[in-house]
Amino acid sequence: MSYITDKLGRPLRDLRISVIDRCNFRCTYCMPREIFGRDFAFLPKDQLLSFEEIERLAVIFVGLGVKKIRLTGGEPLLRRDISTLIEKLTAIDGLEDIALTTNGMMLGNMAKKLKDAGLKRVNVSLDALDDTVFKTINDSNTGPARILNSIDKAKEAGLGVKVNMVVKKGMNVQEIIPMAAYFKEKEIPLRFIEFMDVGQTNGWNYQKVITKGEILQLLNQHYRLEPIDPSYRGEVARRYRYADENAEIGFITSVSESFCASCTRARIAADGKLYTCLFASEGFDLRQLLRSDISEEALKSSIEARWNNRTDRYSDERTEASAAKKKKIEMSYIGG
């Protein structure tokens, strides 16, 4: 097995695969309804990678050093027979972990089947416990009760569960403490995610960001928190433990504390393009290569060359002016 590094010495260890660009929510910071409305043209099925194509790519990526795969979207549970893909990926020799990020709406009914297929972990997106606040954010009339029930079902099925909360000023800051209290009691890790400038349609600016430091200051008024050392190179979350307890929280600090220097992630978007950064403007078309008569070795060499030439460090270099000018792929295509 070969291991590759980019021009900054970062190895390739994590692969995120967006299996669909559709979602059953219209969260204002990701897929605002005024853009992704009833007439929006989503990708037709034949423009999505097939499960066999995803499996073929996954085998190559694992051969280049990938240890973890995460399935994303859109909402990945909208992809029909997703458990079949999980079974295929689980069988790849050398792959150590397979996880999935979901909004949780369909998770409750699917948790056992996903676990039986080989899925190990889920990250569930939930931005508020208050019914009105949550419905305002997701713009789909789904309340938090359904998502909380799905989380319980996932745990009952034996899946590891983490919860992701995007925090944005003027949207849900008042939900930070209730969310922390609820998931502390459940001993489910909660990740606070700084509002990021992914895509072109979410109206991002620095004034809407509440940073890790600000969130931590709020939490410290209620809890005593102790930092936890990273458990592996490239771990994204800055983790903290509640003193004398098993529960923990974490922060995804792409805006206030960049982690570009340790980024080991590649992404395959829903249209089959390879991106070496969440904030990339252009991707490398793997779908076209897969559907040509390219040999396995040539396909592997093409992927290896893209990583070897990688210099991405967008969050290190971000300014409000540069963020406004840079064209970026939408979150619904590239995944989280």
Dist CA 204 CA 198 (whole Å): 8
Quote the CA–CA distance of 151 and 74 in Å, as a whole number.
19
In DSSP terms, which residues pair with 265 in a beta bridge? 14
pLDDT, position 254: 78
pTM for the full predicted model = 0.92
The alpha carbons of the chain give a radius of gyration, in whole angstroms, of 19
Residue by residue, pLDDT tens for the chain (336 residues) are 568 999 999 999 999 999 999 999 999 888 889 989 988 999 999 999 999 999 999 999 999 999 999 999 999 999 999 999 999 999 999 999 999 999 999 999 999 999 999 999 999 999 999 999 999 999 999 999 999 999 999 999 999 999 999 999 999 999 999 999 999 999 999 999 988 766 555 665 678 888 999 999 999 999 999 999 877 666 778 899 999 788 999 998 877 777 788 889 999 999 999 999 888 888 999 999 999 989 999 999 999 999 999 998 877 676 666 555 556 567 677 776
For 48-75, b/e burial (b = at least 16 CB within 10 A) is bbebebbbbbbbbbbbbbbbbbbbbbbb
Going edge to edge, which strands form the sheet with 14-18?
Answer: 225-227, 238-242, 248-252, 190-194, 160-167, 121-125, 97-102, 68-72, 14-18, 265-268, 273-275, 284-285
Structure confidence at residue 262 (pLDDT): 87
- Structural contact between residues 173 and 254, judged by C-beta atoms closer than 8 angstroms: no
- Classify domain 14-334 by CATH number: 3.20.20.70
Look-up of token digits 């270099």: 317
